[in-house]
Structure formats: structure tokens, C-alpha cells
Amino acid sequence: MRNITTTTRKMLLLVITILLGIAYHGEAIACPQVNMYLAQCLPYLKAGGNPSPMCCNGLNSLKAAAPEKADRQVACNCLKSVANTIPGINDDFAKQLPAKCGVNIGVPFSKTVDCNSIN
């Protein structure tokens, strides 16, 4: 019985190690995650004014989740897609959002940005 438990533990450890390796080498960010971070920003993106603290917190979370160039390019494409899909998003408000929150995430908010040029 003990051999089965030891074998099971070894297999479980191996599976966890493989999954961590896949997660580490795969994209660290995806569009649903980007959308979740910035969902609280929709009122600001449509009407302007001041972004809510929850919106700015989401922007900070997005910055932390997209530390690498590839992550920022994925986030850029997600933001561009949302901006072109959801009616009423004002491109000028979107461009001003990082400055209004005091967060430089390295991803311009624009419907027309070339995401391949992000560094």
C-alpha cells in the first residue's frame, strides 16, 4: 500500500512540475484576463471624467501581469479588439487613461495602434 502512495505522490509531483513548466513558457496573459482587469474602466472610457479607483487598480494589475514584450503585445491586441467591438468607447479617453491613473503600462490605448511595434 505504501508503494502506491509513494508512486501516486511522485506522479502528482511530476504532473505539477509539467504544468508549471507549461504555464511558465506559455503566454502569461490572455484577453479574458485583460478584459477582467479593465472592466471597471468602461464608464470612464465612454464618458470621461475621472477613472474610478477600481479602474486604476485594474490597470496596475494589468501592468503587473504583462511584464514582458510578448505579454504587452497580447494585451495591446486585446485592448484594441475591445475598443473596436464595444460601441461608445472614446479613443481620446482611452489614450488618457494611463496618465489619469498614474500608471505607465507600456501599452498605448488606441483603436488604431500597431501592437507589433510595442516593446
What are the sequence ranges of the domains in the chain?
29-111
* One CATH from 3.40.50.10070, 1.10.110.10, 3.20.20.70, 1.10.10.10 for 29-111: 1.10.110.10
Q: pTM to 2 decimals?
A: 0.73
Torsion 22-67-83-35 (CA) sign = positive
Give tens-digit pLDDT for 31-83: 999 999 999 999 999 999 999 999 999 999 999 999 999 999 999 999 999 88
104 Cβ neighbours under 8 A, 6+ residues apart: 63, 98
Of 40-49, 84-93, 104-113, the poorest mean pLDDT is in 104-113
